[in-house]
Amino acid sequence: FLAGLLATLLTALVYRVEDGFHKLPVHWMWWPLLGAVAVSIGGYIDPQTLGVGYDVIDKLLTGQMVGMAVLMFMLVKSAMWIVYLGSGTSGGVLAPLLALGAGLGALESLVFPGHGSLLWPLLGMGAILAGVMRLPFTSILFTLELTHNASALPALLITCTTAYGVSVFLMK
């Protein structure tokens, strides 16, 4: 459910920033430069946010990144992702969403019980992807392919379809 809410928020903010760029008194060809400035500032604040993000995903899935480091990563990476996509800068969607989902799951593991804290980042990855991209079964397959953890399939089915349902219900 939380992943569906975050997916809805991220998507709405990307659209809002994109609309904001259309109102700027600057020619559209300069918009990616502004997106690059946002990425540069974000990278200065938290260098882990730069790049594809598979190294951060690995840290989150193995419990090497916790607490405030996860929260800082999520805030900075989200802001960077929203601005660079809204500016029309070409950039990734899949890996940043997986990293943000794993971050959400790592934060959830601090609160919710489970079969070890490492299950939550895995579920968050699939759920965020399902909520933003509106592809629950593809999200399940991507997550299983990345983690090779078939024992998480029942939980992934529940979390991905729930996140998908929440985002479909809340967004136009």
User: According to the model, what pLDDT value does residue 113 have?
Assistant: 78
> For residues 93 and 133, is the Cβ–Cβ distance under 8 A?
yes
Q: What is the DSSP string of 4-18?
A: HHHHHHHHHHHHHHH
Task: Output the pLDDT for position 63.
Answer: 86
Residue 76, CA distances (Å) to 44, 103, 110, 158, 162 in order: 10, 12, 20, 28, 26
Q: What is the mean pLDDT for each group of 10 consecutive residues in the chain (172 residues)?
A: 96 95 93 93 95 89 90 96 90 90 92 77 94 94 88 93 96 85
| Amino acid (one-letter) located at 84 | Y
Number of Cβ within 10 Å of residue 147's Cβ equals 18
How does DSSP classify residue 51?
S
H or E element at residue 106: helix 94-109
Predicted TM-score (pTM) of the model is 0.91
Distance CA 156, CA 145 (A): 12
Beta-carbon count within 10 A of 26 CB: 10
